[in-house]
Amino acid sequence: METIRILMFPWLGYGHITPYLELAKKLTTRNFIIYLCSTPANLCCIKQKISEKYAHSIQLVSLHLPTLPGLPPHLHTTNGLPLDLMPTLKEAFDMAEPEFANILSAIKPDLLIYDFLQPWAPLAASVQNIPAVEFITSSSTMTSFMFHYFKKPGVEFPFTKIYFRDYESKFLDKLLSCASNPEEKDRASEGVARSCKIVLIKGSRIIEGKYIDYVSELVGKKFVTVGSLVQELGPDDEDFKITEWLNKKEKKSTVFVSFGSEYFLSNEEIEEIAHGLELSNTNFIWVLRFPKGEERKLEETLPKGFLERVGERGLVVEGWAPQLKILGHDNIGGFLSHCGWNSVLESMHFGIPIIAVPMHLDQPIIARFVEDIGVGVEVVRDSKGQLHKERLAEVIKQVVMEKSGEFVRIKAVEMKVKISEKGDQEIDEVVAELVDVCTSSSSS
């Protein structure tokens, strides 16, 4: 097989760039050369995740966005971005289309792989006769749910376990307003429509088979899964303080608490989660993050006396923690997660049961999915959408240690085994499909 050169262009979120990078690593072992394009604000962190062995096969390409008011270059990333600046980041990203077209013509790749937020990228590629394939990093469950509302307004989603609760109606309303707003709907639909022959999606048929079939049928294009793409651990993933602390705990005794790379807890949420962890009497590692420029002292943010009361039972880490290293540790027995798709797949990869506390966007849908397939239990809120410490503590205890949670612990391990048995089969199929796209394009 001749070498195929691919330009990869993910959205500017950490949860998007890392799956692209992991796919890149897998492809380089199968005779592909990858150019990974993002902003300098993202590339500086990504660089550390690329070991020497990929130095020649993965090259980083900088995309410079215009500097809009309130959005200096170090904020050209969703990691740590204050939520109110997200629309400005999207605007600056769209404005970078001409710069991206220049990158395409300088590199002249055989193929472009692009994310769902930039349907202008495959257009720029087609002007230069470069075929393009979309790679969606979210779940097939959410993607099929979304396209169902776009294509069949007013018809109930056929998989009834997947729904928004009454107190989450604002998320469904947002989806419905996207479905009726031509500009937003077109962004998602055109991204898929402009993808040559197939659409790549993160996940596995053994986990989401029926949703993959349904979305393929809805949009009339084959969705091909790339697997879980859990990151390879690098030396920077070591954190001696955390490992040393975790080593002293008992097997499966500790909960890891994290809400991903983009969400910031409100003061009320911090308070309720802290009290819930305290009431649960379970060991925990909690990653607490603040938007860039709005960092606060832990002692002033957590309930008074919290750190003293929990003592050695809890470790609060500020900003960022090596999630994979932690989830892979024998002494972790549960993951209290916002149900970002990457986190859910990582938890399944390590056989860790999930305590689901979805916050916004697609997370409620993924939380329902997690519970439906039996690898987690959701902490259901009250009718007003408030989280309660008592319920939080109950679910933590159930999932980590009580007899009533045995089913979820067993299921999580079964899922880990199934996923590891599947190995890299999906990547082989992806390679065959990508070669087919490139060959048909060059022959036409």
**45 or 176, CB closer to ligand UDP?**
45
Exposure on the CB side of residue 286, measured as CA atoms within 13 A: 23
On the 0-12 / 13-18 / 19+ scale of CB atoms within 10 A, 119 is buried
115 catalytic residue (yes or no): yes
**19 or 131, CB closer to ligand UDP?**
19
The verdict on 340 binding ligand UDP (CB under 6 A) reads yes
Q: Which two tokens stand for residue 241?
A: 């303080």
CA–CA distance, 120 with 101 (Å, rounded to integer): 10
The verdict on 336 binding ligand UDP (CB under 6 A) reads no
The verdict on 14 binding ligand UDP (CB under 6 A) reads yes
The verdict on 261 binding ligand UDP (CB under 6 A) reads yes
The verdict on 254 binding ligand UDP (CB under 6 A) reads no
Is the Cα dihedral 380, 383, 384, 389 positive or negative? Answer: negative
Of 5, 59, 320, 422, the one binding ligand UDP (CB under 6 A) is 320
The verdict on 159 binding ligand UDP (CB under 6 A) reads no
Of 115, 262, 272, 371, the one binding ligand UDP (CB under 6 A) is 262
The verdict on 341 binding ligand UDP (CB under 6 A) reads yes
CA distances for 397 relative to 312, 329, 369, angstroms: 18, 19, 21
Neighbours of 27 (CB within 10 A): 23
The verdict on 287 binding ligand UDP (CB under 6 A) reads yes
- Catalytic pick from 76, 110, 115, 329? 115
Can you say how many angstroms the Cα of residue 117 is from the centroid of all Cα atoms in its chain?
Answer: 14
Number of residues that bind ligand UDP (CB under 6 A): 19
End-to-end CA distance of the chain: 19
Q: How far is the CB of 18 from ligand UDP (least distance, A)?
A: 5
Sheet holding 332-337, edge to edge: 314-318, 283-288, 254-258, 332-337, 354-356, 376-378
- How would DSSP label each residue in 282-325? -EEEEEE---TT----HHHHSPTTHHHHHGGGEEEEES---HHH
CA–CA distance, 223 with 276 (Å, rounded to integer): 40
The verdict on 115 binding ligand UDP (CB under 6 A) reads no
The verdict on 81 binding ligand UDP (CB under 6 A) reads no
Of 168, 346, 371, 378, the one binding ligand UDP (CB under 6 A) is 346
Q: CA nearest 206: which of 337, 373, 371?
A: 373
Of 7, 8, 11, 15, the one binding ligand UDP (CB under 6 A) is 15
The verdict on 376 binding ligand UDP (CB under 6 A) reads no
Q: How far is the CB of 283 from ligand UDP (least distance, A)?
A: 18
Residue nearest to ligand UDP (CB): 340
Q: CA nearest 23: which of 62, 56, 57?
A: 57
**110 or 346, CB closer to ligand UDP?**
346
CA–CA distance, 166 with 383 (Å, rounded to integer): 7
**103 or 283, CB closer to ligand UDP?**
283
Which residue spans within 184-251 are E strands per DSSP?
Answer: 198-201, 222-225
The verdict on 142 binding ligand UDP (CB under 6 A) reads no
The verdict on 18 binding ligand UDP (CB under 6 A) reads yes
76 catalytic residue (yes or no): no
Please list the active-site residues: 16, 115
Q: Which residues bind ligand UDP (CB under 6 A)?
A: 13-15, 18, 258, 260-263, 287, 320-321, 323-324, 340-343, 346
